[in-house]
A and B are shown apart, each in its own frame.
Chain A
């Protein structure tokens, strides 16, 4: 459950940032509520990593403001809350083993309680590699080690840049389940950037989309999905009758192509009722399925709209 009246875990307002003379971020605004699982999306080079680095005070910015738990990012070293950070690249010390990297993080963070090294290694499935040096880890193992380091102690806010990158399918599943547990069961705030839109859609309560240094959209995942139409597809040997029945049910944009009937449906659409009507009318239906809108659709629509605006060039 996300509390909207609490101060945000992370609040970025109209962030502008240059790398040398080149403007990289123009107008990024994000609001991450405490306890939410926030997916930061965007194309390659959109500004996700730069935004995360700025949010940690690792990059100075020219305009806007960044606050973590109401604390200005410039005073990040004075904030009482613990942060867990796994950026891209993972930033392991390659002259130390995985376990030593975690010990070093514990010492630097003054961590005495919360999750231990053994626990976090177990959580990310890296116990068997704990004595490997950073330089001997695969890309995916490096990610896991970075996430393990971020989980040490009791971090209130986790900032994870591409934590699923390079992971095998089991690793992705494991991480997604872990992030969900952290957010739903423990109330931690998790911000993750990813290109795995389908996975993000399943676990993230909130989503923000950045492109070309601008925030294109932001909101709760179900609300954003509801803005995009879903599609009904019926395969039948009597398409005209099926189309007639769908139209009678006030379903818009019914189209017939060969023996397939398609229609645009909204959130009010009751698939059980319509299917029952089709069967009661003895219409020959061989396939009936709903293509629900996905984050891919939301992402594509927003990016296309931005690309076609033409005023950002």
Chain B
């Protein structure tokens, strides 16, 4: 009989299909490609601008008055990456927090839900793939600034005349920088999942982005007044906007300011590894709870 039902073989689970779809979106969206390109170019340009500033300052003040470390690869790499991360964090908020409300408004979320993908699977897949964006943007910033800094600056010890002023190996500058980059990962992941949760909770993209941005900025806004009273928060350790950014500390330290890389680093790093976790878990739960009830 022509109308008899044929059972369609389901070879992939609801979540894995949703995940594959989100990965497709991640790899094919123009806006995401442009974001990566923008971050890469900015990281390169920042190093070039730094070289221009250092050179101009040397000509104005005299070369001997400029910190010799300014001509080194390590401080240039860390400083450019740190500055570039402001753009990365902004892009993460805009791209992730703004995407889902826009998709819901344009009814683009209805198709996956009619393809035997549950709401929970869809939002879990969305949160999972959202994690990729800050990491790949971070990688672009790191690679762009590293390539440009390696091209324009020397990565060896800081030498004046025949004398080694600063030994990179002795000071552990390279290791400190790698560590600070590693410590940026968890806050960035948490930011992306929170941005994803904001998209699931708020109907309007502007509200979702706004709330997420306030969450990112709140430690900076309240840092001076309430630092002692407030518990540690995921945004405290964001590489750019975080007041306790390890990348910022390392950048300052590698530029010769030893007060920024204190002995409390390890203690803070331990806090940095733990404090974003409750926010991460809460964001995932809230995403699922709100999206399950969302009218689509």
Contacts and interface: CB of A to CB of B under 8 A. Distances in A.
Contacts of B65: none
B224 interface: no
Contacts of A83: 114-116
Most chain B beta-carbon contacts within 10 A, residue among A80, A94, A107, A149: A107
A109 B9 CA distance: 11
B263 interface: no
Contacts of A3: 1, 3
Nearest to B112: A108
Given A80-B10, A89-B107, A92-B108, A156 B117 contact: no
Contacts of B11: 110, 112
A69 interface: yes
B110 A91 contact: yes
B28 interface: yes
B21 A6 contact: no
Interface stretch (A38-46, A98-106, A259-267, A291-299): A98-106
Interface string A181-199: 0000111110000000000
Interface string B7-40: 1101110100110110011001111000000000
Interface residues of A, number: 51
Interface string B112-150: 111111100100000000000000000000000000000
Contacts of A89: 106-107
A193 to B, nearest CB: 15
Nearest to A86: B111
A108 B110 contact: no
Contacts of B106: 89, 91-94
Interface in B239-272: none
Interface stretch (A50-58, A120-128, A276-284): A50-58
B169 interface: no
Contacts, number: 122
A35 B8 contact: no
B20 to A, nearest CB: 5
B293 interface: yes
A90 interface: yes
B230 interface: no
Interface in A1-57: 1-3, 6, 19, 34-35, 53, 56-57
B163 interface: no
Contact of A60 (B20, B116, B295): B295
Most chain B beta-carbon contacts within 10 A, residue among A95, A100, A156: A95
26 contacts: A3-B1, A3-B3, A53-B296, A56-B114, A58-B296, A76-B113, A76-B114, A77-B116, A77-B121, A80-B10, A81-B8, A82-B8, A82-B116, A85-B111, A91-B111, A92-B106, A94-B106, A95-B30, A95-B31, A105-B115, A108-B115, A110-B115, A154-B6, A187-B2, A188-B3, A189-B3
Interface of B: 1-8, 10-12, 14, 17-18, 20-21, 24-25, 28-31, 103, 106-118, 121, 293, 295-296
Interface of A: 1-3, 6, 19, 34-35, 53, 56-60, 69, 76-83, 85, 87, 89-96, 100, 103-105, 107-110, 112, 149, 153-154, 156, 159, 185-189
